Every structure is written in C-alpha cells, then in structure tokens.
Amino acid sequence: MLLRDKLTGETKDMKKVDEARIEELLSQLTLEEKIGMIHGEGLFQTAGVARLGIPPLKMSDGPMGVRKEFALDSWVNTSTTDDKVSYLPSNSALASTWNREMAYKTGQVLGAEARGRGKDVILAPGINIKRSPLCGRNFEYMSEDPRLIEELVVPLIKGIQENDVAACLKHFVANNQETDRLEVDTYLDERTLREIYMPGFKAAIDKAETHSIMGAYNRLYGEYCCQSKYLLTTILRDEWAYDGAVISDWGGVHDTKEAAESDLDIEMSVVSNFDEYYMANPLLEAVRAGEIQEECIDKKIRNILRTMLRLNMLGDDRKNRVSGTYNSPEHQKEILECARESIILLKNDDQRLPLQKDKIKSLAVIGQNGERVHSNGGGSAEIKALYEISPLLGLKMELGGAVDVKYAKGYYVPTKEEKKINWQIDSLDKEQMDKYEEESQDRLNQLQKEIESKQEELLAQAVLLAKETEDVILVVGLDHEYDVEGKDRKDMKLPYGQDRLIKEVLAVNPNAIVVLIAGSPVEMESWADDAKAIVWSYYAGMEGGRALAEILLGKVNPSGKLAETLPRKLEDSPAHSLGEFGLYGKVTYNEGVFVGYRYFDSHNTDVQFPFGHGLSYTKFEYSNLMVSIDESSMEDDLIVKIKATIKNTGNQAGAEVVQVYVADKEASVSRPVHELKGFDKVYLEPGHEKMVEVILNKDSFGFFDEDGSSFLVEPGEFEIQLASSSRDIRLKELIKIDKEYRYS
Ligand code: BGC
C-alpha cells in the first residue's frame, strides 16, 4: 500500500469497542452522575465518576499547540512554567505544504504534546472553509477548497489520535465569519453545503474516525448548530453513522430541551456557573419532572464512554495508554520541516532570491513582523511557546557574525497592554463587543494622535536605512490583532501604514524583498508590481523564522503553494460581490459553490496570486500525460488513472505540487470551470524526472443533485488538467464517461 493510501484511505472499524462494557457502566450510573458527565464542571473538563473509575474528560485548545493551563473555573493562567509547549504551524501554513505526510507528522506532534500535557481531547483541527478574506479565524483554517482539506485533515487526525487523544474537529458547520458569531443564521443551498462546506467533516469521520466533533456557534437554517436536529441527527448520526462524541462550542447551547433531545453529547461554556448550564441542573430537574426522557441522556453517555474506551481511558486499558511527551527535539525538527514546506515564493523577478550568503555586504530587516512573535495571540489558538524564532533571529542565526544585520521597526503597533480586554468573554455579547470595538477604536484614535510624530520618525528611519543598505528585507503583514477569533477584519488593507512604508522603501531601494507574514489575504495592488520578490508565510510555528531565513538565503528551496486565492481587492471576492458577509442576524451565501478559485476562474477575474500558485528556485517541466479510464473494473465505480512525467530542468533540487483539476464540459447544472480533485508533491534532484500517478474515482466527477439527494456523475466529456496552479494548466486531455453514477 502506498503511504499516500495509508494516510488517506478508508479506516472504517478502526476502533471497534466492546459495547457491552458501555452498557454495564451505564447501568450503574445514577442520573446525577450522568448529568455530571455531559456538561463542563470546569472550563475545560467534565465531571468523572470516581467510584466507577470514570475519569473527567480533559480538553484543551488547540490547533497550534496545547493551550496554556487555566484555573478550573476562571480564565486566569495558572502562571506556572510547565505549560510551555511546542508551537506548531497554523493550519493555513500546513495546508500550504500540500503534503499529506507532513499533515500526518504534524498530527503526531500535536497528539503527543496533548497527551504529554495530560489531555484527552485536543480542540483541533479547525477546517471551516475560507469563504471571505476577512474572516478573523482564517489563519486557523486550511483552505477555500474542500478536496485539499479532505486530503490533509484525514492524515492530520490519524496522527493526533495515534496518541490516544481525541481530535475535536471544528466547527460543524458553515462557521465562516466571526461577526455575530453566536447568533448569525446562515443560509446556503444544500448543494453548496454538501459540495463545499461538508466534505472535510465527512472525510474525517469516514476515513480518520475523528473521535469528537465540535458544533459551531452559528445557526444554520434557523437552528443553532450545537443543538440542530438537521445537522446532528439527520446528517451526522443517521446519514454518516457517527458514533463519537459531539461537544458544543463554548457557550453554543441555548436551550435545555432542545440540547437534551438533540444529538449533542457535552455542553461546554465560558462561564463558571457550571451547575446552571442548560445540560446541568435545569436538565436534571426536567428529567425528574418527566419532561425529558432519561434515554436522551443515556444516548449521550454511550457516545462519551465509547470515546473514552477508544482513548484507553477506562479500567485496565489505562495501562496501555500512550503517555505522550511535549517539547521534544523531535517535535521541533518536524515543526521546522513543516515550516520550510509551508513558505510560498509568490514572485521572484530577475531571480532576486535567493540571496547569496557570501555576497551580502550589508543587510537590513525593516518592519515589526521581523522581530515580533505571534504564538501568544489569536484567541483560543494562543499558546505559551517554549520559544519562537522570529525572522530577524532566524536571519541572524543563519548569517552569523560576518554580516552586520540592521533592523528598523518601520511602523508602530499599539501594545497588547494598551488594548487589554477579554475578547473570549466579550465576544459572547454583542453589546460588549460593540463597546470593545468602540473603545479600542477610540483608544487607537487617541494613540494614533500621540504617536503620529513617532510614526513619521520610524518611517523616516526605515527609509534612510533602506537607502544606505544594499540588501533589504521588508517583513510586514498582519498579526493577531487582525487574525483573531471573535472579530472579522473590516477591509483587506495592510494595517499600521505598511503600504506607505513598502512603497517608500521600494522607491529608494527597488531591490527590496517583501516578506508578508499573515493569516489571510491582504491587498498588495499599490506596490506588488514594483517589488521584485514577494514571499508569503502564514504563522509557521516556533521554527518559522529559521525556515524563512533558510529560504531567503537559498539553503532551502521553497515548495509551498497557496491553498487559497489572494484576490486583488476585497470587492472581487465572491462572498462580497455576490454573497453576504459580516452581517448581524442573517447571512446568505448567494455565491453558492462558487467559492475562491471556483468563482475567480469561472469569471476570469484578475487575481493577485491564484490558488495553487507558488514558485521554486528551480523549474519543472510537465510531459507525457496519459489518462486511462476503466468503467468496468469495479461494479459501481470508475477508475481514472492519470500519469505524467515531471522533470526538474533547473540546477537545484526542489519539489513541485502537481495539481489535477477536473472540468465538466457539459452539465445540467452550473458548475465551476474546473475543480481540484487530486495532487501529488514530487521531490526531484536537478535533471531528474519522475512519473506521477493520480487516481480519481467517481467522487471526483459528480455534483450534488438536490432532487436525487445524492451526488451525481452525468455521462459526458470531462477534461483532465494537470497544473502548477489553478491558472497555470500545463497539460490536458478529454475523457468520456459513458455511465451515470450516484454516490453519497
Ligand atoms: C472557540 C473554540 C474553542 C473554544 C474553547 C471558542 O470560543 O470558538 O474554537 O475551542 O472557545 O476555547
């Protein structure tokens, strides 16, 4: 079996448990004990039942490492130093590697760290679709493309769960904006829901058996996701046969009866009146009064105990439980590997990069993202990193003492202290949030005045340095004031006057290299044409600065590719030009399935950098496309084998992500001009070539047919495209499918 198949193939029945053990335990539990198990009795844990050897279920965020430790009943850090952990690349960075094995190894690190910290559930990964460039949590998510998400989330979860820790896949579903996140009611057609927003969740259940899932805060078709009959019962339990634990988002439950009778298993929240949670005393009383059947609770307990059995948490199984570890040198090594593959070379005119280490006379790093660390922000993704290498540190470590590296801040960033507010509590309350926005805006305005002259001074210093220095690296972008949970950005512009800084630096030093560190797209129109080299890094973990330096200095050849489109302007983006985004009360996804490149490519909209784009210091040539189609080999499936030769025609080793798009030439519904259906990442020495093979099945050709309530492949012509990005198709071939296929 190819490693690729092992990572993404079917794993149904991976962890069958002894259901009789569940029934036996269940029969011994009192109603009060059951109630304790189905709601938080700490901010991050449920109650155990000591007399039966049932421990509490201990949870922690999150996606970029195990979150710092909080007191049981307040959002105060325990303030010890034993909760420092490895800081992993964010999901947006991981997705840019387009590397399944990397996802698996990253999962292994996260799982081991979570177990090492004594956790049972790690509240990750987040896989919501990047629908708009403005969503505050985009940095936590992977992509605008469901197939890329499917292919990476499966190995990621497998890696996590090998450590006897449950992944908690979040947020189910259509949680694509932070504005009004607790209430907003989302409307999209079923085809879009099934084709775009759900496939990652389904794949994680079918192929990785994610042990837990987190409901989303928002509503879908009027129902709160955390207690939705449609989502949790009809889809998750009945259709997808999911038997793991469903956990609410923190504060996502709104009604005792609805939650109790829904397929939610555990209610968690952000407040510490644990006994008053909807599924605590109010539920106990309702059951006692005969208003709610105890069987509703038993169903939840079964799912929780099943999850505990899968994690080796009960009885003698505990002896076999993986113990995990955190902060190991091996983890740091994996994190560095992942960071290296995540960084994307967007533009490299005149082969401006890499810099030749021995030819550097003087080097200036300009811009505060050069020295800043990001691990301690972002919302629930924040962590207390053991260390974090900034770009400036990484460059100095790589260059040593021979090169005098100068640094200028370039722009002013208000400090955290200046804006101190508890976003996690405030984000639950619109009034508080508005006040927060207003206050921070007022504060910023006031601050802005105070620092205006200082700002001019920083800019002048930077421009002077850029003039005097031969090699200049501008390190700019966003930070977790913008890439943050609980609020969306207002526009796609770079904050802190950075556009002006970049333009003024490029004016005096046209060779300056622009490095963007950000978690979501930013507008670059005003300077992108003038910059010779542009490099993009997401929040890439504790080794991010080292990886970046290695790429800038040519020690590592970049191989990251964009897992999302970088549009030119916000207005171009389909969530804004066709759909609604960032509204209170209700949002409608009028753009339907035309999300990201599905829209841009279908409408020929000019973009800054297309989906799948990423350059290398070497060149790759595509040839010999061979497509064979076999409709008879399997009863109800088809096999389309795609082969092509990829050659490294440059003079250094490198890796290329070969992307396979499928275009349905004639369909009875409106479909995007093409859709990503497969990919492979090939490593090649200079002059070497390899044959890549990608196999597609029927599930790469269909669309969701609402009338037939299933996916449908219509007979007819399909074009198979081999591409280096969604806008750089190198080879293509038409195939004809003769039969109709249906699948779910
Ligand atoms: C977030 C979740 C997170 C939870 C616990 C919520 O505000 O939406 O993603 O896991 O808090 O911190």
Q: What spacing in Å lies between the alpha carbon of 212 and ligand 1's midpoint?
A: 14
404 has catalytic annotation: no
Lowest mean pLDDT among 386-390, 421-425, 542-546, 598-602: 421-425
Per-residue pLDDT reduced to its tens digit, 35-65: 999 999 999 999 999 999 999 999 999 999 9
Q: What spacing in Å lies between the alpha carbon of 61 and ligand 1's midpoint?
A: 7
Characterize 549-564 residue by residue with b for buried, 16 or more Cβ atoms within 10 angstroms of its Cβ, and e for exposed. Answer: bbbbbeebbbbbbbbb
657 lines ligand 1 (CB under 6 A): no
Q: What is the pLDDT of residue 454?
A: 78
181 lines ligand 1 (CB under 6 A): no
Q: What is the pLDDT of residue 455?
A: 84
Per-residue pLDDT reduced to its tens digit, 203-262: 999 999 999 999 999 999 999 999 999 999 999 999 999 999 999 999 999 999 999 999
Q: What is the pLDDT of residue 415?
A: 67
Closest residue to atom 3 of ligand 1, CA basis: 380
Does pLDDT of 695 surpass 90? yes
Q: What is the CATH number of domain 620-743?
A: 2.60.40.10
Ligand 1: which atom is nearest the Cα of residue 44? 5
Does pLDDT of 620 surpass 60? yes
Give me the residue label for tokens 């105070």: 450
- Residue (of 570, 586, 598) closest to 133 by Cα position: 570
123 lines ligand 1 (CB under 6 A): yes
Does pLDDT of 416 surpass 80? no
Task: Specify whether the CB–CB gap between 60 and 66 falls below 8 A.
Answer: yes
Ligand 1: which atom is nearest the Cα of residue 124? 10
Looking only at the bridges linking them, the beta strands covering 59-60 and 121-122 are: parallel
Per-residue pLDDT reduced to its tens digit, 121-156: 999 999 999 999 999 999 999 999 999 999 999 999
483 lines ligand 1 (CB under 6 A): no
68 lines ligand 1 (CB under 6 A): no
Q: What mean pLDDT do residues 456-466 have?
A: 96
Closest residue to atom 4 of ligand 1, CA basis: 250
pTM: 0.95
CB-based contacts of 283, cutoff 8 Å, min separation 6? 35, 38, 256, 259, 260, 292, 297
Q: What is the CATH number of domain 329-609?
A: 3.40.50.1700
Q: What mean pLDDT do residues 355-359 have?
A: 95
Mean pLDDT score across all residues of the chain:
95
170 lines ligand 1 (CB under 6 A): yes
128 lines ligand 1 (CB under 6 A): no
Q: What mean pLDDT do residues 607-628 have?
A: 98
Residue 166 DSSP label: E
- Residue (of 186, 241, 247) closest to 213 by Cα position: 247
Question: Of all residues in the chain, what percent carry a pLDDT higher than 70?
Answer: 94
Per-residue pLDDT reduced to its tens digit, 273-284: 999 999 999 999
Ligand 1: which atom is nearest the Cα of residue 140? 9
How far CA 352 is from CA of 345, 365, 484, 531, 553, in Å, comes to 11, 16, 33, 10, 11
DSSP assignments along 379-398, one per residue: STT---BS----HHHHHHHH
Q: What spacing in Å lies between the alpha carbon of 376 and ligand 1's midpoint?
A: 15
Q: What is the pLDDT of residue 421?
A: 47
Given the residues 249, 265, 471, 479, select the one marked as catalytic: 249
Domain boundaries, the chain: 329-609, 620-743
Per-residue pLDDT reduced to its tens digit, 675-686: 999 999 999 999
What does the alpha-carbon distance between residue 512 and residue 474 come to, in Å, rounded to a whole number? 7
